[in-house]
Structure 1
Amino acid sequence: MSTTSSPAVDVIHLDSDGYSPNGKPHSLPALHYRSPYGGDADTAGGSEQADFPSDKAKELVERRGWQPSWEFGMYRQAHYHTTTHELLFVLRGDASIMLGGSDQRDILLIPAGYTHRSLESSHDFTMLGCYPRGAASWNMRYPNVNGCRYDVDEIVKLVDGAHKKALFDAQDPVKGQGQERGEGVLDRTWFREAAAH
């Protein structure tokens, strides 16, 4: 595992452990945006500890090409998705997440194949789960040495192949609005990597 940081974003690279693909099929890192809207009175209500309004979160991600799908916590069972990438927008509560933790109003962008789970969470922990508009419906896979190789092939076929346009239409969930391509962390880390393959 390697992690690099900018002032508000952790870039997390994970290799396959033989049970979960993680970054093996496409070399894309997970992105952890730390409180990108924290303290913004117009966006989050002005309080560092305030809940993030669900309707405002939906509006923000929809403008950037992400389709809100559900509001819930995170499963405690380790799992990953082979059909789509996943954007998790923390609305309230707090939790320790397998991919580096997630405090109130953090955003975690998880590439297809990256295993993730909740280690612990507050009773009110809620996230908004989003997927690139036009991508395949999300599925559930569980770490398994026998299925890992097949799942890598499925990610390459579906996410890096058939549904690649949906990823390229989605913008950085934090820095997408009003910016040219190439300016957000998503552009600098994912799109350049994907274009190279």
Structure 2
Amino acid sequence: MNDFQDAPTPPTAANAPERLWFEDDGRTPNSRYPVLCYRGLTLADGSPADALEALFAHNGWPPQWRGGVFDYHHYHARAHETLGVARGQATLVLGGEGGRAIDLHARDVLVLPAGTGHCRHSASEDFELVAAYPPDQQNWDLCRPGDTDIATARATIAALTTPGNDPVGGAHGALTRDWCETNKPREL
């Protein structure tokens, strides 16, 4: 998508993301950065999955797969992740085993910093999402609380680069403001 006219529409102020914070619970590291939750994005006509993939790719987050979310608690230590709901609805638990239930609907997007626990609690039969990762983090891992050495996971997460672009808002999106080291959200 090099042609400006083909570029996806950036989010408006009405689509400013919710910011959700989750602390390290001793089994799931979570992150010092907030989860970003964009709601009800306006997408290009056609397939919502195609539109989400185009949006993420345009903003430097290559899409990797379409599908659902595992029904067990897990996190990724080697990659930040974005999940865009193409159709249906689901309730995910974010933040680990004692986390918070979040309802998601078609055209919602989550940006999960590495270490953020997530699990599918329930989903409609037609639930489908698109997943994308920063270009230098395409080899994501699957970590489960209690099965993964948390000290190693914390060190892996600390060594990750911060993406240069928000998968929804690009270079001027919420991620570039909320995850920047000079504006460190809070220490855990």
Normalising by the residue count of structure 2, what TM-score does the alignment of the two structures yield? Answer: 0.79
Q: Does 1:172 align with 2:170?
A: no
Q: After superposition, give the CA deviation of every residue in 1:22-61 in whole Å (9 maximum; x if it has no partner).
A: 01xxx11110001122xx5xx145xxxxxx5322221111
Q: CA deviation at 1:109?
A: 0.4
Q: Counterparts of 1:97 and 1:149 in 2: how far apart (Å)? A: 25
Q: Counterparts of 2:33 and 2:181 in 1: how far apart (Å)? A: 10
Q: CA deviation at 1:7?
A: 4.6
Q: CA deviation at 1:156?
A: 1.5
The answer to whether the 8 A contact 1:29-1:189 is kept is yes
Counterparts of residues 1-197 of structure 1 (less than 5 Å):
7-8=14-15, 9-23=17-31, 27-37=32-42, 43-44=44-45, 52-99=47-94, 100-144=102-146, 147-157=149-159, 159=160, 164=161, 167-168=163-164, 171-176=165-170, 181=171, 183-192=172-181
Q: After superposition, give the CA deviation of every residue in 1:132-186 in whole Å (9 maximum; x if it has no partner).
A: 01224111000128722221012113x1xxxx16x22xx222222xxxx4x3211
For the aligned residue pairs, the C-alpha RMSD in angstroms reads 2.3
Higher helix residue share: 1
Return closer, same or farther for 1:145/1:54 CA change in 2, 3 Å cut-off: closer
Q: Counterparts of 2:184 and 2:139 in 1: how far apart (Å)? A: 23
- In structure 1, runs of 5+ residues without a counterpart are 1-5, 46-51
The answer to whether the 8 A contact 1:36-1:174 is kept is no
Q: Counterparts of 1:73 and 1:98 in 2: how far apart (Å)? A: 14
RCO greater where, 1 or 2, for CA within 8 Å and sep 6 or more?
2
The answer to whether the 8 A contact 2:59-2:169 is kept is no
Identity rate, percent: 31
Return closer, same or farther for 1:84/1:146 CA change in 2, 3 Å cut-off: closer
Counterpart in 2 of 1:49?
none
Q: Which aligned runs of 4 or more in structure 1 are off by greater than 3 angstroms?
A: 192-197
Secondary structure of the residue aligned to 1:186 is helix
The answer to whether the 8 A contact 1:31-1:108 is kept is yes
Normalising by the residue count of structure 1, what TM-score does the alignment of the two structures yield? Answer: 0.76
The answer to whether the 8 A contact 2:178-2:184 is kept is no
